[in-house]
Amino acid sequence: MLEPGFYISRRRFEEIVAEAMEEIPEALWGVIDNLVVTVEEWPSRRQIESVGLPPGNTLFGLYEGVPLTKRTTHYGLTPPDKITIFRGPILQFCPPDEDAIRTQIRRTVLHEIAHHFGISDERLIELGAY
């Protein structure tokens, strides 16, 4: 829970997300395709249900799209895949410290980018990246 007086504006939160995106190596940007990253306050009920999250839990981020490993020659003229980073849950979870929030945002961005590359939650756990 945030301490009284501690506040990160939506604009600042979006800047931190952009900083996390800038940390992604150029070699990966050469492979990332048809992807947009957005910030929303909270996940919708539909988004929570889409990942089968039990009641009482929430999402820090969500990847929606067709992972690179699942794309075929029929993939085309498709809306961009979407990564959404959820401000409310991250601010609620993290200590009232911008560095802690930055760390969680970075972790969330990388986690969702991994899904774009077709890496499952199970595999991320195996790799120790969850």
Q: Does some domain include residue 31?
A: yes
Q: So what's the pLDDT on residue 87?
A: 97
1 in a domain, yes or no?
Answer: no
Q: Check: pTM over 0.85? Answer yes or no.
A: yes
Give the residue ranges of the chain where pLDDT is below 50: 1-2
Helix, strand, coil: what percent of the chain each, to 5?
45, 10, 45
Q: Check: CB of residue 123 under 8 Å from CB of residue 30.
A: no
Phi and psi of 40, rounded to 5°?
-125, 160
Contact partners, residue 129, CB within 8 Å, separation at least 6: 110, 111, 114
CATH code assigned at 63: 3.30.2010.20
Mode of pairing for the β-strands spanning 61-64 and 35-40: unpaired
What is the count of structural domains for the chain?
Answer: 1
72 in a domain, yes or no? yes
Q: State the pLDDT at residue 2.
A: 46
The whole domain housing 70 covers: 10-126
User: Is residue 2 assigned to a domain?
Assistant: no
pLDDT of 1 reads 46
